[in-house]
A and B are shown apart, each in its own frame.
Chain A
Amino acid sequence: MNLFRTALILAKKDLYSELKTKQILTTQIIFAGLVIVVFSFAFDPANNTTKAVIPGVIWVIIVFAGILGLNRSFISEQRNETMQGLLVAPMEAASIYLGKFLANFAMMLVVELVSIPFLFLLFDFKFLGSVPYFILVVFLGSFGFIAIGTFLAALAANSKSSEMLLPLLLFPITTPILIGVVQATKIILTNVEKLSSAIAWIQLVTAYDVIFFVVCFLLIDYVLEV
């Protein structure tokens, strides 16, 4: 399929360019580290009640580090107007969206892979919950967040102050995901007996992911239209 072929080329281009400059990933990871340190000041890691805030901290890291990457993903195409180069090329707008999504999602996963173990380590968190479910929740939550985030980043890139506009667009729209994943994470990490309600949250997040991924696919034509 041409759609996926060009999307993969595009994603590869973005990731390779990230591999060369390492700008975004470094910033994201350092940022995640700083968030963890700041939280360790705010909530004493030695205190047992601190365990309760860990699920929240995980998602604060993902959301804010994610937004750093999302902001760059379309702004970086403005230098030398390379976006025009993509728009005159024979590919669908959905291809551009999919390519950008894949690149952002891959980077997000790397950030999570580094920062979440680091968080557990620093807060001396004994993982008692179910690891596969935890990974599933993180995956689904990041998927939805990055899917809608990439879409809104393409929309916000039309503004001169897109860095400020993007969070304002993204946070209210993603509230269902954020509520869902934080609740699910909380249950999985601290209260595994209630797994069934965590699964209900996972279903809600999955439904959201599917609905909005489809909606974004349908509407991206109008966003990238010139």
Chain B
Amino acid sequence: MIEIKKLTKQADNKLILRGVDLSIKKGETVAILGPNGAGKSTLLKVLATLIKPSSGLIKINGLDLKKNHLEIKKLLGYLPHSSLLYDHYSPLENLVFFGNIYGVDDVEQRAIKLVKEVGLSFFLNEPVKNFSRGMIQRIAIARAIIHDPEILLLDEPHTGLDQGAISILNNVILSMKEKGATTLMVTHDFKQAAEICDRIIIVKNGKIVDDFKIENRNLGFVSEKYELQVEGVS
């Protein structure tokens, strides 16, 4: 599904990504772990076509990211740190707008359904600017999946969410997974990573330093590996 070869990104003279090779199969749920400033967000942005790589090759679904960006953008659902929502618009208006841009059919019904799924149907017509951080994050998630993307790129989706919201988010991701979606998720929350992901990638200093599969939600295993890579030998 996603093929990355020798990807580098340089900002002025600073190398942010130094040769990332990664291959992700369809339907995988991958967690990306790593310390701050490792280049995780940058990696997601490159995949979301928001940053041009300095060198390297990226193929998504067999299509070259450089040449077929319109087709690829239709497949992607991207959730960055910021919400990408219009403040004075209600959740419904926001979702309908983005749905229209993606050319979603029956967009209003789908928007209402999604808002219900993230548990905010009571606030359907309130302007987003009055929402709390966690509520905004839920709508932002709904926005990212309005067009039923095949690939989800989530950047720290769990930050600022309460327990209930975390389980709602996990359910959304798992139900997308059941539909066959591929998920890449940057996170600092090992518990959630172990809970819903079946593969872990550890990024450090712009490189992938570890890449392994996990089974049985083995949280201890993840922490152990992470400490070995990030805090242990350096």
Contacts and interface: CB of A to CB of B under 8 A. Distances in A.
Interface residues of B, number: 27
A91 B101 CA distance: 8
B189 to A, nearest CB: 23
Given A80-B87, A81-B80, A226-B50, A90 B100 contact: no
Contact of A90 (B50, B74, B84): B74
B98 A89 contact: yes
Nearest to A77: B86
B52 A89 contact: no
Nearest to B85: A80
A6 interface: yes
A69 B116 CA distance: 37
A89 B88 contact: no
B86 A225 contact: no
Nearest to A92: B70
B152 to A, nearest CB: 12
Interface of A: 6, 9-10, 13, 17, 20-21, 79-82, 84-92, 225-226
6 contacts: A9-B101, A82-B84, A84-B78, A88-B50, A88-B76, A90-B73
Nearest to B49: A88
Contacts of B101: 6, 9-10, 86, 89-91
Interface in B195-211: none
Contacts of B85: 80, 82, 85
Nearest to A2: B103
- Top 6 A-B residue pairs of the complex, sorted by shortest distance between their CB atoms: A85-B84, A90-B73, A81-B82, A90-B74, A89-B101, A9-B100
A89 to B, nearest CB: 5
Contacts of B102: 89-90
Contacts, number: 63
| Residues of B contacting A: mostly | loop
Interface string B45-76: 00011111000000000000000001101101
Contact of B89 (A17, A86, A90, A91): A17
B83 interface: yes
Contacts of A20: 88
Contacts of B123: none
Contacts of B190: none
Most buried by B among A20, A21, A89, A225: A89
Contacts of A86: 101
Contact of A226 (B52, B88, B100): B52
A108 B121 CA distance: 37
Most buried by A among B49, B73, B76, B84: B84
Given A9-B97, A9-B100, A82-B85, A87 B70 contact: no
A78 to B, nearest CB: 10
Contact of A17 (B74, B82, B86): B86
A21 B88 contact: yes
B164 to A, nearest CB: 23
B97 A13 contact: yes
Given A90-B73, A92-B70, A226-B52, A81 B97 contact: no
A21 B71 CA distance: 35
Given A79-B87, A84-B80, A90 B70 contact: yes
A84 B50 contact: yes
Nearest to B128: A80
Interface in B91-109: 97-98, 100-103
Contacts of A87: 49-50
Contacts of B76: 88
A92 B71 CA distance: 11
A80 B86 contact: yes
Given A81-B80, A90-B103, 11 more contacts: A20-B88, A80-B83, A80-B85, A82-B84, A84-B50, A84-B80, A84-B82, A85-B84, A85-B98, A89-B73, A225-B52
A86 B78 CA distance: 11
A80 B89 contact: no
A20 B85 CA distance: 16
Contacts of A13: 86, 97
